[in-house]
Every structure is written in C-alpha cells, then in structure tokens.
Chain A
C-alpha cells in the first residue's frame, strides 16, 4: 500500500487551488473545534494543576453570596488532613469609572500572612511579602493587572465599596507573577473588618483549604460539611476547579453552547470535505476507468480515493489544531481568562481528538463518491465525458 503513496500525493496536488482551499476551510473550522474541545476538556475533564488540586473552597450551602461565620476557620483547621485555612472575601466595589470594563478586576480581602502559602504559584519577592503582611492598608496586585492599569509599587488605589460601603484606600506594596491570568488585587481582611460596624463583623465569604494530599479531596470536603451540618450556616466544600466552573456557569449554559457549536462545526466540515471529494472524483471517472484497465483492483482504487481524502482532511485538522493552540493561549491571557481553568497550550489528547475527528470526517465524506467510482464498470467509466 505504501508504495502507492506517491501516487496519492500526486493526486492531492493536481488541483492545487482546490486542495489549498479545502485544507484551509477544514483548518479554519477545525481550529474552532480545537478551541471548543480544549475548553470542554479544561472545564469538565482535565485534572487541575498540581497546586490547584490541593485546594478546596468552603462556602455557604445556600449560595456563594451568603456569608459564613469566621469561627468556622479554626474548626476546619481541626479536620484531619487539612494543612491550612485562609479567609477569602469578595470585596466587589468600583474602581474609578465602573463603565469602563478595564476597571473591573477581582478584589479580594485575604489573610496576607497565609496568601502565598495557600497559592504557592504566586511568586513575589520576600521583602514585598513582608511589607504586605506588615502594613494594614497594603495591597498586592497581579502582574496582568499592574500592566493593564499601570500600577507600580507605592501607588495608591482608591476603591469605592458597595457590599462594604465606604471609601477604601490601599497602597500597592507588591506585584506578584502567576502562571495564570492575574487580574486581581488582594488586601488585608483585618483592614476590611475594622471598617465594618459591629453587627457585620465576624463573617467571611469563603475559606480556602489546603489539603495534605490531592486524593483526599472527597473525604476532607465531606468531613468539613458534616462538621457544620447541624449549624445555622451549613457549608458546601468543593474543589477549587469546581468552584471556578460554578462561577462561569453564571454566564449561561456553557456546556450546551460548547457542544452545540462543536456539532455545527463538525457537520460543516463534513459537508465541505464531502463536496470537495465528490467534485474531484467526478472529474476523474475516466481516469479510474484507465486505472482499472491497467489492472488496479476496485479495492485499490477505493483506497486511493479514501487515502487522498484522509491526507487532505488530516492536513487540515493538523493545521487547524496549530491555529487553535495560538487561540487558546490568547483566550487564557484575555480578561476572561482569569475565570477559566488553566488551559494547557498543548495537550496530546486534545490534539489527537482534533486530528482524529478530521480524519474520520475525511474518510466518511469520501466513502460515497469513492465507492461509486470504484464500482463503475470500466466501459462506462471510459465513456464518461464529464
């Protein structure tokens, strides 16, 4: 079979314009499919980054927006397998003009002395960490945020609170690097707590929990929720990954959107490639007759045509996957990237899924014209004028 490869290649290349157009149109659709598959994979199938896999998030069972008492912290710490607990409070608020989407970024009140132990992937110089922990009104910002809004160490940032009314002023004491999108500002929860009226103190948004072993997530989460089962505020503990996906679900039905678009794209490629193969086979009916006269069996003729379709579609799939790699990296870096789970730029299973799908589509789409051509009697084929 392999010795006929040059013939198949020659056939691919005889109508260059068509081959290029087909490869490009398959590639463009495939790149979309590649993005969809990698997103789907990242959301629902991927194993989280190692440091992320160690973290759980505890929130109120009613909803993310309902607070839980601060005294839960020490009790969570007592649960076997918990290495660390950190308070995290969504601050909300507005920075300058809220109508400019650039001014929207996450602001979280945390415990400065625990932040970098809880998120070991955040890298910041030691003296900046110390300054952050020492000063009550200090804040640290992610590199992406610092670049977007041109923040420097020593700058003052004013936020106007909504969930927590009032004006808050922070001094940037550090800028940290993160492998993921870091459009975020952290400040000290102690500062926030001191500004609140008596009645609102002692409540937290959620707790981040660091585990001793990523495989203990189910057991530890269950133990934490059981601990507070009979309390006024029941908890729900989930992995950080599930917590982030839950956030994104607020944007709409992501799963249905991803599957719907992928389906439409796949069907489009099927049509495009079937169309091309049908055209190129129709042109060549007489040639097939000649091949058969020379002694090539119908099976061989069939495999030539199938092989050609496979080559073209796989080329399109591979090219499309390459483009999609660039696109997913771009999406990860975009403002919405912070909400998405980490999407690795290259993933062998996604690559195989993309190229495999393209190949299968190529084969399926050429099957009908190829069968027709291989079955045409020699005499009819030679007589064909088209």
Chain B
C-alpha cells in the first residue's frame, strides 16, 4: 500500500524555508540551462527565418561566407542567364550581384566597437527578399551615399540611426531609412547602393556574391548543381536557407559553455537536494518508525521519500522556468561567418521549459534516491527510539 501523496506535500509545506531554499537552488540551475537553450534556439530561429528556399546563393569555390568571396561582373553576366532563374516584373532575371563588407561601430554591448555587416545591392536584390519593407524613412537612392539600416541593428548600434552619418570607405554615409525583415538576419545588416559602395571600397569590378531566385524548388536544386558544376564559373552554390542553417554552428562555443556550466551547477544542486533529503529523513526517523508500525512496507517508504524529492525538484524546475521567462524578448548578438554581428532574441520555448523541468526531476531523483534508501532501511525499533 502506498503512502498518500498528501503526506509528502504537507511535509514540504511544513518545512517551507528548507523546501524553498532547496528548490531555489535547483531553480537557478534550471534557469541557467534555459537561458543558454534560449540563446541557441533564438539564434536558430533567426537564422532559419533568414533564408528563402527559392533563393540560391553563389560564392567563389572554397569560400564559406560572403565576406571572403569574390565575384566579378563578367562572371555575373555568365550566371545571370542560366536556365531556371525567375524573371522579375521588368522582365529581367532575378539575379542580384552584391558586395558585403563590415564596418566597426560602437554597440550597446561593446562600446569599443562591433562589426556590422554592410551590403551593397541593387533594386532587384531588395525585390528578391520577401517580407522586407521600409519601416520608417525611405530606401537609399542610386549613386548616393545613403544607407538603410536593419531594425535589429538600429536597436543595437547607437550610431546607426536615421539622420546620422557613418564613415565608410571614402566618405560619410547618411542613414535614410530603417527596414524590417521579421526576425531574420537581414535585420542585423545595413544596406546601400551596390555601385556606390563598390566604388568607395575600390571594388568596382570584384564584388562578393550573387543571389538568384529560382522559379520553383526543383529548379532551385537544379540551379545549385548547375552553378556548382560549371567549370567556367568556379563557384559553389547553395540555397540561401542552407547558407544560414550552416551558420548555426556559430553558437557551438556558447552552447558548450552553457552545457558545461549547467552540468557543474547540476552536480552542486543535486548534492544540495541530497543534503536536504538526508536531513528530512533523519528528522523524521520516529515518523518513519511509526509508518512501519502502521504496516507500510519498506518499499512504500522508499517510494514515498523518492516522490518527495521528485516533487521538491519539480517545484525547483517550475520556479526555474519562471525565472527564465523574462529573458524572452531580450535581444543580444553573436558573431557570424561574415565576421559581423547577428542580432537575435532569446527564445525560451515551451519545449525547452519542459526539458528544464525534466532536468530538474532527474537532478532531484539522483539526490533523493540514497536518502530514500536510508529511510527504508531503518529498523522499526531503532527508528522509534531516535530523537
């Protein structure tokens, strides 16, 4: 026969200071774990929202980022008329030659300066990014030193505001608009006219990369193969989606640090839980003796104390989730392969919260097992005699 659950619940309530302190210890461990998971899943969400499966990105062979890639105008002419590229409203192929560089500006997290991606492109490039629109101000004009800043970047770089000027290449550039692109990585960039940026950087003929839009998904794959196998071009192509998905590996160091920290904290707090449960067992020695006299078996005592530890840690897990919830919506940045910052929001998802609670329960079970065994091993007579 099992000991009623109410017995455990009431015990936890009676010793509320100890219960809360132990649970808070576990809660902090869970909160740290959730914060790291929120960081990683926030980055993943941003990156997976960034790529369009129909867009194909072509880079020089051997380059894994747009920053180190080179693309000449002559090559662009060869690529532009490949089969399978969709045509735009003006009848021209949807192919965008772009130049990518970075500028170092003071950032809210690093007043000393963080790199911000600068992308030079033409009207067709803007047209190819679905879901992109100007939120305030206007688009840059051709042939002028004007820039449009992504919404996330505007929030993180105090100098990247409408009306302010940024020094880039050979002159000062005025910021004339803010663009919003959902929560994708384009929000962490700053855009200007391709030809003007190219000439300011003395890169008139050698630019960075080309983005083309395929008519449908099957053609997109065919286009990837076609470009990658074209000996004349010497380019690697991949879908834009794949390009951004590869970048999730950037979060690996943070993820590993987080797991390392969470494990160490978990060891610490499972020991603390063990301590609490041992104290509970020795304080309730007489109670255990009484329960045995009443006819409860050793097994049900073991189970009861184990359940109590699990309840305690589950409480900690829930508290941890509550502690981590306010992180939702906080924006932070991480370096990307373009050597610049990608801004993203923490995302504490329901799945990660469930995982956090499960983690806490595992912690509590480890901490509760030995004390529960000790409780069940007590001899009735000695237990009753203990003070």
Residues of B within 8 A of A93 (CB): 62
**Among the listed stretches B16-24, B48-56, B146-154, which one makes contact with chain A, having 4 or more residues with CB under 8 Å of it?**
B16-24
B271 in contact with A28 (CB, 8 Å): yes
Contact (A272, B62) CB under 8 Å given A25-B269, A256-B109 = no
Contact (A162, B60) CB under 8 Å given A18-B278, A62-B168 = yes
A278 in contact with B18 (CB, 8 Å): yes
Inter-chain CA distance A24–B267, complex, in Å, is: 9
Inter-chain CA distance A170–B261, complex, in Å, is: 41
Q: Mark B248-267, 1 if CB is under 8 A from A, else 0.
A: 00000110010001001101
| B112 interface contact, C-beta 8 A | yes
**Residue in A252, A274, A276, A278 whose CB lies within 8 Å of B254:** A252
Q: How far is the CB of A331 from chain B (nearest CB, A)?
A: 10
Residues of A within 8 A of B278 (CB): 17-18, 21
Inter-chain CA distance A17–B60, complex, in Å, is: 64
| A257 interface contact, C-beta 8 A | yes
A32 in contact with B104 (CB, 8 Å): no
B35 in contact with A260 (CB, 8 Å): yes
| A31 interface contact, C-beta 8 A | yes
Of all chain B residues, which has the CB nearest A166?
Answer: B62
Contact (A261, B339) CB under 8 Å given A62-B168, A253-B333, A272-B269 = no
Inter-chain CA distance A251–B333, complex, in Å, is: 9
Residues of A within 8 A of B104 (CB): 61-64
Residues of B within 8 A of A165 (CB): 60-62, 70
Contact (A279, B279) CB under 8 Å given A61-B104, A63-B103 = yes
Q: How many pairs of residues, A versus B, come closer than 8 Å at their CB atoms?
A: 156
Q: Mark A21-47, 1 if CB is under 8 A from B, else 0.
A: 110111011011000000000000000
| B177 interface contact, C-beta 8 A | no
**Among the listed stretches B25-33, B84-92, B136-144, B209-217, which one makes contact with chain A, having 4 or more residues with CB under 8 Å of it?**
B25-33
Residues of B within 8 A of A26 (CB): 268
Inter-chain CA distance A117–B257, complex, in Å, is: 36
Q: Which residues B65-96 have CB closer than 8 A to chain A? A: 67-70
| A275 interface contact, C-beta 8 A | yes
B265 in contact with A275 (CB, 8 Å): no
Q: How far is the CB of A41 from chain B (nearest CB, A)?
A: 17
**Residue in A66, A92, A261, A279 whose CB lies within 8 Å of B68:** A92
Of all chain B residues, which has the CB nearest A365?
Answer: B21
Q: How far is the CB of A230 from chain B (nearest CB, A)?
A: 13
Residues of A within 8 A of B351 (CB): none
| B186 interface contact, C-beta 8 A | no
A32 in contact with B18 (CB, 8 Å): no
Q: How far is the CB of B88 from chain A (nearest CB, A)?
A: 30
| B229 interface contact, C-beta 8 A | no
B268 in contact with A29 (CB, 8 Å): yes
Inter-chain CA distance A274–B201, complex, in Å, is: 61
**Residue in A32, A63, A250, A336 whose CB lies within 8 Å of B264:** A32
Inter-chain CA distance A63–B102, complex, in Å, is: 6
| B291 interface contact, C-beta 8 A | no
B275 in contact with A160 (CB, 8 Å): no
| B115 interface contact, C-beta 8 A | yes
Residues of B within 8 A of A8 (CB): none
Inter-chain CA distance A39–B261, complex, in Å, is: 14
A25 in contact with B275 (CB, 8 Å): yes
Residues of B within 8 A of A376 (CB): none
**Counting chain B CB atoms within 10 Å of each CB, which of A17, A268, A336 scores highest?**
A268
| A249 interface contact, C-beta 8 A | yes
| B385 interface contact, C-beta 8 A | no
**Residue in B18, B62, B109 whose CB lies within 8 Å of A275:** B18
| B101 interface contact, C-beta 8 A | yes
A253 in contact with B110 (CB, 8 Å): yes
10 closest A-B pairs by beta carbon, nearest first, are A250-B335, A25-B271, A162-B63, A28-B268, A275-B21, A272-B272, A29-B268, A253-B109, A271-B25, A252-B334
Q: List 24 A-B contacts (CB under 8 A).
A: A26-B268, A28-B264, A28-B265, A29-B264, A32-B268, A62-B104, A65-B102, A92-B68, A160-B62, A249-B110, A250-B114, A250-B339, A251-B253, A252-B334, A255-B109, A257-B257, A264-B28, A264-B265, A268-B29, A272-B275, A274-B21, A275-B22, A279-B18, A279-B276
Residues in A lying within 8 Å of B, measured CB to CB: 17-18, 21-22, 24-26, 28-29, 31-32, 61-66, 92-94, 98, 160-163, 165, 232, 242, 246, 249-253, 255-257, 260-261, 264-265, 267-269, 271-272, 274-276, 278-279, 283, 336, 386
